[in-house]
Amino acid sequence: MKAEQLHGRWAARFTPAPPGLPAQATLVLRRHAEFSESLAGTVSRALGGGAGASSHAAQAALAGDLDEGMLLLDESSDQVSITGTWNGEMQPGSCGRVYQGHWKDTSASAAPDAPDVAFTLTRLP
């Protein structure tokens, strides 16, 4: 697969929900403005203002790559620091429409021993 094949809208489901964040989010991936073989985009979450969500924005920037089948994205709520990382791989038989992996909260509000949270990305129509 090439990064351009991931351009579009994706539904993310976390199992379990990250502390202080909802169990669902929407990603929009597109071509990176500076690096044509890379990805850029946004992740949007419906934040309820709960504890632990203070370092995460309702919409955060994404940037990353598809490297040998691995989807590697960095998330930034403030356009400066990395507040989350996404590492996943395409699921066999999904024709590139489903990725599974782990999200890591790297924000200032994350516990030092914050666990990785499993996610599933599914392409939206």
Q: Walk along the chain (125 residues) and give the pLDDT tens digit of each residue.
A: 889 999 999 999 999 999 889 999 999 999 999 988 999 999 999 987 554 445 889 999 999 999 988 999 999 999 999 999 999 999 999 999 999 999 999 998 898 888 999 999 999 99
What is the model's pLDDT at position 50? 52
Longest dimension (CA), the chain: 39
- Sign, CA torsion 115/116/118/124: positive
- What's the pLDDT score for residue 51? 47
* Residue 107 one-letter amino acid: S
- Residue 90 sits in a domain of what CATH number? 2.40.128.30
Cα 52 from Cα 107, distance rounded (Å): 10
Strand-strand pairing, 84-90 and 24-31: unpaired
Domain that holds residue 70: 3-123
Structural domain tally of the chain? 1
Query: What is the predicted pLDDT for the residue at 55?
Result: 81
